Amino acid sequence: MGVREVSLRYCNVAGDEVTTTWREARAELIVEGLPVRIPPSYRGQGNYPGLFWSATNRRTLVYESLLELDRLWLADFDPTVVGIATQPFQITGSGTGAQPSHVPDVLLVHVDRTVTLVDVKPAEFLDKPAVRAQFDWTRGLCRDKGWGYEVFSGGDPVVLRNIKAVAVGRRSERLPTGVLDRARAVLAPGDVTLSEAIARKPSTCGDASWRVAVLGCLWRGEAMADLRRPLGMETVLTYSAGVPV
């Protein structure tokens, strides 16, 4: 099936349905829109849908499973990602006979304007013929369009736990004026442990606000740490000079 025979349906930012061709679809418009479908919720279901507030988009996204939620945490923490959409569109073949149709899970737009389409699926399902066929079809379409394609079956649990801990700093704009700048100043001279950074709290700042400010520097990429190891008070924070604020 050629790319020209594939149609794409998405909902724009106003909630209107738009139908176009796969070739003509524009990721920068799709990522600003609404989900093309809302994951169902019913008694006894095996997955857990919900809502995720994205610091990247500054809005709430739907997710269909906890595995998909993990991928959203990774995307929201990724400094190269500038746009995230979930259940972003439906692609359908338009030839004769039975045609493939698919709603991918996540669309990512990166700072360099490249695009990654993500399908989320537990590893135990990846060898099923129907799943392989669907993903192979989608991967081929992405290759023709110049998009990246990823099948996500899980991330490093330590990294994910750390990202969720650091996420307390996602809303650092709500801190009292000047607190974030003070946290940057504490981190700027060189490597410090998290314990040392916390201990350097200004006397005029509350404990909770100071922790949010320090972790906010980690979330924003203004400080770096090895998140492959469990985050603790002895974790070393390294200042990232030149990172835009």
Report in angstroms the alpha-carbon separations of 206 from 58, 172, 198. Answer: 26, 14, 11
Among 112, 133, 152, which residue terminates a domain? 152
Structure tokens at 125: 């399902």
Question: Alpha helix (H) ranges present in 31-167?
Answer: 66-77, 129-145, 157-166
Domain that holds residue 189: 157-239
Pick the last residue of a domain from 152, 180, 204: 152
Residues 19 and 131 in one domain: yes
Q: Does 192 lie in the same domain as 71? A: no
Query: 163 and 104: one domain?
Result: no
Q: Which residues of 35-71 are buried (b: 16+ CB within 10 A; e: fewer)?
A: bbeebeeeeeeeeebbebebbbbeeebbbbbebbbbb
Per-residue pLDDT of the chain (245 residues; tens, 9 = 90+): 455 589 999 999 999 999 999 999 999 999 999 999 988 887 877 788 999 999 999 999 999 999 999 999 999 999 999 999 999 999 998 655 557 899 999 999 999 999 999 999 999 999 999 999 999 999 999 999 999 999 999 999 999 999 999 999 999 888 888 999 999 999 988 899 999 999 999 999 999 999 999 999 999 999 999 999 999 999 999 988 644 44
pTM comes to 0.92
Question: How far is the C-alpha of 123 from the C-alpha of 154, rounded, in Å?
Answer: 8
DSSP tally for the chain: helices H, then strands E: 7, 13
Task: Please give the structure tokens belonging to residue 228.
Answer: 């492959």
* Residue 245 located in a structural domain: no
What's the confidence (pLDDT) of residue 11?
A: 97
pLDDT of residue 177: 87
| Residue whose pair of structure tokens reads 């909770």 in the numeric block | 208
Q: What is the pLDDT of residue 245?
A: 41
Per-residue pLDDT, 244:
45
